[in-house]
Each structure stands twice: as C-alpha cells, then as structure tokens.
Amino acid sequence: MRLKNRVAVITGASQGIGRAVALRYAAEGASLAIIDVNVAGGEETAALINAEGGKAIFVRCDISDKADVVSAAEAVKKELGPIDILVNNAGITRPAMLHKMTDTEWHQVINVHMHGSFYWLQAVVHDMIERKWGRIIFVSSSTAQNGSIGQINYSAAKSAMLGMMRTAARELGKHNILVNAIAPAAATEMTKTIMNDPKFEAAREAALKQHPLRRSAEPEEIAPAFLYLASEESSYVTGQVLSVDGGSMLVR
C-alpha cells in the first residue's frame, strides 16, 4: 500500500483521468476527496471506492470560484483530515480560432485551469508546510509546449500551470513538498468529440500512423504515473513534466 494513511484531493474526478487516478490511489490505501461540478459522476466515483472497502467523499466544488474552493477544502479537512496530496486535474475546452474566440471562451478556460489550480494550491499548502510532507501534481498538456490550433485559451492555461508548478517546486522543496506535472493523452469525454467526429477521420488516421505506439490509451494506463509522483518512490523528483502520451510528443 503505497499511499496508506494519505489524504488525497483530486479535482475533476467524476470521470476520465481524474476518476482513474482516484481509483488507483484508493487501491493503494489513500482516503479520497472527489472534487467536481458533476454531482452524479462524483458521487459514483466515491461510491465505487467505498464499495471496494476504500474511503472516499464527494464534495461539489466549482474550482474556478475561490469561495467554493475554500469551503470545499475545509469540508475535506473536517471529514478526512489534513490534505497530503493534491492533483489539479479538472479541465474544460472551449475551442475556437483565435480571431473568433469570445471573451467568455477565453475566461472560462483560464478560470478553470489557471485560477482553479492556484486556489487549490493555496488551500492545501499551509497544512503541507506544517506537516513537512506534500505531493502536488498539475495536469498540463502537450499543448503547453506545442500550442494547439483552435485552442489558444487552453494552451495558454496549460502553460501557466507549468509556470505555477515550477515556482511552487522551488518555493516548497525545502518543506519536503514535491510539485510536478503530467502531460497525459487518453481517450476520455474531453477527447471524444474529436475521436468520434467523421470530419477528423483522415487527420486521426494519419496521426495514428505516426504515433510510436500506434494506439491511444485508456485513463487507467495513465494513472500509474500519478501514483509514482504521489508516493515515496518519487522522493527526489520535483519541478518536472512527465509526458504520459505513448511518445506522441516525438512526432509533432
């Protein structure tokens, strides 16, 4: 049990990568706080964990709202105790070419990824400093490095998360708090629109031919990397971006 007695907060754990990570952490002994705006999905993730004999609570929280984050963090501490592990995973996309992007599309994406991650970072860090132990994982994206056509809001927000991650790693290392990022690629609700749209079939097939592993992954295949970065095994790793994308970054 690599996370025995640890309390982990995972934002956006109602589905997709966040849920897979939550299930994996629970199987390794952590108590889980499932944070999301999707109530049905969040309650289902918590129920799946509790049914297996684990411990999980769902707390509804819009991470782009600071007051919501502050009260959710309080609720988690009251129910589960001080937070040891934070996974800043919740995310949205609002694609549009930059000359057509509305202010709303811009702000929604920036607010969730950038502001939401910062609010949660601040909400957990005091207890981690006091307890001299912490693991924080930002979920970024290859778009932080490569950009992404039609997603200037998303790639800007994901780049900002890496800036936060590196600064936090430098500020918090002396307190034994390790801060890293994962740039994942997995088939989820978020990618489904592109995966299922016949318009993108030719582009998808061409991309798959170039892909080193010739396939996409399920979220469960991404989760072990999150386990590594949350465990004692990563005790000398901080300030890093781990791409868990089957090597697809190599061929862009």
Ligand X SMILES: NC(=O)c1ccc[n+]([C@@H]2O[C@H](COP(=O)([O-])OP(=O)(O)OC[C@H]3O[C@@H](n4cnc5c(N)ncnc54)[C@H](O)[C@@H]3O)[C@@H](O)[C@H]2O)c1
Residues at the site binding ligand X, with contacts judged by CB under 6 A: 11-12, 14-18, 36-38, 41, 62-64, 89-92, 112, 116, 139, 141, 184-186, 188-191
How near is the Cβ of 119 to ligand X at its closest, in Å? 10
Nearer to ligand X, 46 or 139 (CB): 139
Nearer to ligand X, 116 or 134 (CB): 116
Nearer to ligand X, 75 or 129 (CB): 75
How near is the Cβ of 171 to ligand X at its closest, in Å? 23
Residues with a known catalytic role: 154
How near is the Cβ of 6 to ligand X at its closest, in Å? 21
Nearer to ligand X, 130 or 189 (CB): 189
How near is the Cβ of 160 to ligand X at its closest, in Å? 12
CA dihedral 196, 202, 207, 213 (to 10 degrees): 70
How near is the Cβ of 20 to ligand X at its closest, in Å? 8
Amino acid at 178: L
Q: Show the 3-state SS of the chain.
A: CCCCCCEEEEECCCCHHHHHHHHHHHHCCCEEEEEECCHHHHHHHHHHHHHCCCEEEEEECCCCCHHHHHHHHHHHHHHHCCCCEEEECCCCCCCECCCCCCHHHHHHHHHHHHHHHHHHHHHHHHHHHHHCCEEEEEECCCHHHHCCCCEHHHHHHHHHHHHHHHHHHHHHHHHCEEEEEEEECCCCHHHHHHHHCHHHHHHHHHHHHHCCCCCCCCHHHHHHHHHHHHCHHHCCCCCCEEEECCCHHHHC
- Closest-by-Cβ residue to ligand X is 16
Nearer to ligand X, 7 or 185 (CB): 185
